[in-house]
């Protein structure tokens, strides 16, 4: 395949967390033993959403905010494919917020890797749903006054099948979380990945995250929903990273009798 004419080189800023994320994703896919031919990377729009173009996979780079419904359609049409969504906080929690709520309810076996840098990158620095209170931008000129969304707490409240957080500055941890998410069976997996945006987020810098992230101790039982929620509420001097929660819900597609005869796309 001649990729020369296409813009397939990453177009991210120096110091962008996406570089580490891309490299770690490639490693994690290999470690999880995923056949790239059976892999579909799905994204919406944003800096994170460009990632599928920079690795070897089937790609569905759709509309802003709509990665999850597209991924749902792909997984239901061919449940033998590995379907991984890579999108940012604006794409997933803002424009796609309604789909986020319902994808978790539905529990289709889609893995959502959310590049969460708490700011809009592609549109140059506006607040995102996870932006810190008081963050001043060219649009939020008096600082952000809407309280940030807590995606992990929302997911745990909805009994999401797999809920984890990691940080691009901790590549070994990130790889471990990605592999765990990729290998998770039983439904929707959310991996919220903290990453710095050196161009537009001057509050939550690489150092800001690095000083705060703390791996969750091995004593935590991810099936303990109350403790998981308590971990999700922690945000400040310490930010827990690791697997917060897993539930034992059946996946959506495992409950669909027409899929028993093989993928819909093969008939």
Partner 1 sequence: MTVTIRIAGEAGQGVLTTGGLLVQTLAELGLHVAATRSYMSRIRGGLNWYDIRIGESPLWAPAERANLLVALTDTAMETLAGDLANGGVVLYNGAEADGSIAIDLAGVAKELGGSALYANTVAAGAVLALLAYPLDALEALLAKEFAKKGPEVVEANRACARRGAELVAGSAGALPAPATGGQRAGSIYDGATAIGLSAAVAGVKFVTAYPMTPGTATFACLAGLADRYGIVVEQAEDEIAAVNMLCGATYAGAPALTATSGGGFALMAEGLSLAGMMELPIVAVVAQRPGPATGLPTRTGQQDLAFAVSAGHGEFPRAVFAPGTVRQCYDLTRRALETAHAFQTPVVLLTDQFLQDLQQTLDELPAEPDPIDRHVVTAGSDYQRYAETDSGVSPRALPGGEAMVVCDSDSHTADGHLTEDLDAHVAQQDKRSRKLAGMTAAALAPQRHGPPDAATLLLTWGSTYGPAREAVDELRSAGESVAMLHFAQLWPIDAAGVRETIGSPERIVCVEGNATGQLAALLRSVGALDDCELHLRYDGLPMTGTEIAERIRP
Per-residue x/- track, 67-106, partner 1 (CB under 8 A): -xxxxxxxxxxx-xx----------------xx-xx---x
Q: Give the nearer residue to partner 1 in terms of CB position, either 37 or 142.
A: 37
User: Which run of H or of E encompasses 102?
Assistant: helix 97-106
Report the C-alpha gap between 81 and 75 in whole angstroms: 7
List b or e across 151-164, with b for residues whose CB sees 16 or more CB atoms inside 10 angstroms.
bbbbbbebbbbbbb
CB atoms within 10 A of CB 105: 14
Q: Which is nearer to partner 1, 76 or 135 (CB)?
A: 76
User: Within 15-44, which residues bind partner 1 (CB under 8 A)?
Assistant: 36-38, 40, 42
Q: Evaluate whether 49 touches 91 at the Cβ level (below 8 Å).
A: yes
Total residues in contact with partner 1, by rule CB under 8 A: 52
DSSP-derived pairing of the beta strands 162-167 and 239-246: antiparallel
Coil vs helix vs strand at 220: coil
5, 14, 217, 236: residue in contact with partner 1 (rule CB under 8 A): 5
The verdict on 10 binding partner 1 (CB under 8 A) reads no
218 counts as binding partner 1 under rule CB under 8 A:
no
Binding site for partner 1 (CB under 8 A): 1-3, 5-8, 36-38, 40, 42, 45, 50, 53, 56-63, 66, 68-78, 80-81, 98-99, 101-102, 106, 256-259, 261, 263-267
């Amino acid at each position: 395949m001649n990729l020369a004419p296409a813009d397939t080189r990453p177009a991210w800023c120096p110091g962008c967390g996406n570089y580490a994320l891309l490299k770690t994703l490639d490693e994690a896919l290999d470690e999880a033993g995923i056949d790239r031919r059976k892999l579909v990377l799905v994204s919406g729009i944003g800096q994170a959403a460009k990632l599928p173009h920079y690795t070897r996979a089937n790609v569905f780079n759709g509309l802003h905010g709509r990665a999850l419904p597209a991924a749902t359609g792909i997984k239901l049409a061919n449940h033998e494919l590995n379907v991984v969504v890579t999108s940012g906080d604006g794409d997933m929690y803002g424009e796609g917020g309604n789909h986020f709520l319902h994808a978790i309810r539905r529990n289709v076996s889609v893995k959502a890797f959310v590049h969460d840098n708490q700011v809009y990158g592609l549109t140059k620095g506006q607040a995102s749903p996870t932006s810190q209170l008081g963050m001043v931008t060219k649009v939020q000129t008096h600082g952000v006054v809407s309280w940030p969304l807590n995606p992990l707490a929302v997911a745990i409240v909805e009994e999401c099948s797999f809920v984890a957080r990691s940080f691009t500055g901790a590549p070994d941890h990130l790889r471990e979380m990605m592999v765990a998410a990729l290998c998770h069976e039983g439904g929707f997996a959310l991996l919220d990945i903290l990453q710095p945006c050196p161009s537009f987020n001057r509050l939550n810098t690489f150092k800001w995250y690095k000083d705060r992230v703390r791996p969750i101790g091995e004593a935590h039982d991810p099936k303990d929903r109350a403790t998981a929620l308590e971990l999700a509420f922690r945000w400040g001097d310490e930010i827990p990273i690791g697997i917060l929660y897993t539930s034992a819900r059946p996946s959506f597609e495992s409950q669909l009798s027409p899929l028993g005869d093989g993928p819909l796309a093969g008939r």
